[in-house]
Structure 1
């Protein structure tokens, strides 16, 4: 049987390596601007704002460190042992990994691994690989990239999205906006956009039975769908918070509903019960802002229900603010934000329909090789299969 060279879509390219650096830049910039903003609020005496800004930063860091370490620990069962019998990942022992994650460097260690190995493969190749060896090397790089994209998705919805909501509430509710606040919101916005597309493309590349998302129009439409629906929803929540701070209780209820639904579906993502409960709580946060397929099943009915509620909230928010705060009726503020919410909702839902009707990659089940079969499933492969599948 003649073995052909894998198509370029199956290779970790120089462009993908450069985009990884771009993702690292956005990640660092998002955290740095938020910490600077928290210090600014503290100096100005806005202790609640400073505290909430830091809580979102530290909450996202803590959760991603927990999952990063747990995944490293699981991966140790799939790699070669050192001569001393101690499991390692890229030369790092269990003790080294604990120290790295205690100091919040888990994601950075993953970026370093991916960039270092990717550089050796795509920029300075020193080995003459066979086709099968080359395929394995690139598959390993994509597995590392997918793990990183999943952690970045967690960080996005635990830090960037709530941060954007908080800063919009502060700016719109109190008037005026500093340069640092603009930078914070900009980094949060672009971090959200980046993590959504990067996660989507890495996920579809890592699942053998699902076609990869093509570049160009499909990616642009998907990005518009997600950004428009998420950001219009964030603006709606902002208006409701301006109307009453007790809206935070309603958001907590929505998180509980999403977490409970995930629990009812009995997700099976983590290797331990306690981690699974934390995972479900994180998915509850994600579902508060956008829809994702929790178990990779047909979810047409669930999506219809979810986006019907989404449309109701986005219509009700500006109407309630206009009715309960008559002084804002006809104001430039309410008209502008209301237009952004309604326009974003309509555009987002139109892009959703276009994407899933015309541009959504169809499943393509991989045939097992007559000799090799599908091979033994690794912990990394199980993670991808049991994670959020689409949305």
Structure 2
């Protein structure tokens, strides 16, 4: 019998369905909002809303297809050199990804394989075989969670920023906007925690993040820092739409830093540049360890700059638009920025000082050591480290 911390459990299987639901609803609420803006002749808002949806879909399809091809060419995963993977040819996979069904294909395979492993009882497998089956499920889930992380920062996070700017800066409020923001927020939260837990579990010599308090503190740290950052950017956009130029410069700086780190995540140079550009977007809103190295100094610099933006944004709006100094709007948003910033940084310190899993996983024995390093495990080893 496998221990609970090395199993892809029934609860995880059901939560995968919940993640799929959030993903679909988030996209459809954004598309519905774009249609609403189009009917109201807000064509710029329509275009931006759709651009973020399409950016998330396009990038995730590109990486999903590339990973399928890598796995197909892997001698350990496909020792017979078959022209198919998971029952699909390269052409079939290309068509599915061309029409945006790449993530749905991965959900289907994860749920199908998971149901065979966790919803059926059989004594025909040894402990090692069952361990390997559960590990493979976590690898499938980790690939999917990385794609969801990309999608959330390319679609949900910019969407949340855009809708907050419209609601706060133009006083355009509707039920559809609030639904879009709510599901974007939930999708971000889900992507962060799911990625964190799946990544650590799929690496055999890394301890899994415990559930309960550590997960809650980590989620609070990420959500509070990202939310305060988005609110600060929103105030700067209200002050001037030229803030988009400053955000572009921040993205270029983050992308350049990622390039200087010489990441080796992708199998081709073109995909590697795309990957670094995506990481630049993520770093514009939150910090991740890009190469799995000690980043204490980089994190201190990052969050010092983050704190400077959160202090500067409300002050600039108050001084440059004095008519807003005593309004409920500015006081409320400034209070939220301050509160989320402090809470986020406190949770960051609590998590990394007291709750962050350290050391080797206790089950990292000779079975794990003998496991062949496939393209999947190589890829996961190079994933972003939270």
TM range (shorter): over 0.9
Tell whether the 8 Å contact from 1:81 to 1:88 is kept in structure 2 after alignment.
Answer: no
SS of the residue 1:124 aligns to? coil
Number of the residue aligned with 1:107: 103
- Structure 2 equivalent of residue 210 of structure 1: 206
- Partners of 1:320 and 1:371 lie apart in 2 by 58
For 1:314, the equivalent position in structure 2 comes to 310
Corresponding residue to 2:289 among 289, 293, 312: 293
| Distance in 2 (alpha carbons) for counterparts of 1:337 and 1:370 | 54
CA distance in 1, matches of 2:148, 2:133: 23
**C-alpha separation in 1, matches of 2:162 and 2:376:** 35
C-alpha separation in 2, matches of 1:49 and 1:370: 56
Following superposition of structure 1 onto structure 2, how do residues 323-338 of structure 1 map, counting pairs within 5 Å?
323-338=319-334
Match of 1:20 in 2: 16
- Partner of residue 146, structure 2: 150
1:270-289 Cα offsets, whole Å, 9 max, x none, are 00110000000000000000
Q: SS state of the match for residue 199, structure 1? A: helix
Query: Aligned pair in 2 of structure 1 residues 339, 92: CA closer, same or farther (>3 Å)?
Result: same
In structure 1, list runs of 5 or more residues that go unmatched. none
Change beyond 3 A, Cα 1:335–1:74: same
Q: CA deviation at 1:235?
A: 0.3
SS of the residue 2:55 aligns to? helix
**Kept after mapping to 1: 8 A contact 2:208/2:361:** no
Partner Cα distance (2:64, 2:18) in 1:
20
Give 1:137-176 correspondences, 5 Å limit: 137-176=133-172
Residue 45 of structure 1: SS of its match in structure 2?
Answer: coil
1:375 maps to: 371
User: 1:126: Cα distance to partner?
Assistant: 5.1
Query: Structure 2 regions of 5+ residues with no counterpart?
Result: none
2:124 counterpart residue number = 128
How far apart, CA to CA, are the structure 1 residues paired with 2:371 and 2:209?
24
CA contact (8 A) 1:269 1:386 kept: yes
Distance, in Å, in 2 between the alignment partners of 1:189 and 1:172 is 17
Equivalent residue of 2:93, what SS? helix
Decide which moves more: 299-308 or 116-125: 116-125
Matches of 1:323 and 1:171, distance apart in 2? 22
| CA separation of 1:25 and 1:371: change in aligned 2, threshold 3 A | closer
| 99 and 81 in structure 1: CA distance in 2 versus 1, 3 angstrom threshold | farther
* Per-residue CA distance 1:55-85 (angstroms, 9 max, x = gap): 0000110000000000000111233467xx6
Shift in Å, 1:7: 1.6
Match of 1:348 in 2: 344
Aligned to 2:43: 47
Query: Which residue does the alignment assign to 2:357?
Result: 361
- Do structure 1's residue 236 and structure 2's residue 241 form an aligned pair? no
1:225 to 2:221 alignment: yes
Q: Is the counterpart of residue 339 in structure 1 residue 351 in structure 2? A: no
Q: 1:181 to 1:191 in 2, by over 3 A?
A: same
Whether the 8 Å CA contact 2:258–2:276 is kept in 1: the answer is yes
Corresponding residue for residue 197 of structure 1: 193
Looking at structure 1, the residues matched to 364 and 109 of structure 2 have their Cα atoms a distance apart, in angstroms, of: 31
Separation in 2, partners of 1:199, 1:368: 21
Q: Give the deviation of 1:89 after TM superposition.
A: 1.6
Q: SS where residue 140 of structure 2 aligns?
A: helix
Q: Match for residue 37 of structure 1?
A: 33
> 1:6 is matched with which residue?
2
SS of alignment partner, residue 326 of structure 2: coil
Q: Deviations over 1:236-262 (max 9, x none)?
A: 000000000000000000000000000
The number of equivalent residue pairs is 384
Check the 8 A contact 1:80/1:87 in 2, yes or no.
Answer: no
Q: Please report the TM-score for the alignment, with normalisation by the length of structure 1.
A: 0.95
Aligned 8 A contact 1:208 1:366 in 2: no
Indicate whether 1:58 and 2:40 are aligned. Answer: no
The whole-number CA distance in structure 2 between the counterparts of 1:266 and 1:211 is 27
After TM superposition, the score normalised by the length of structure 2 is: 0.97
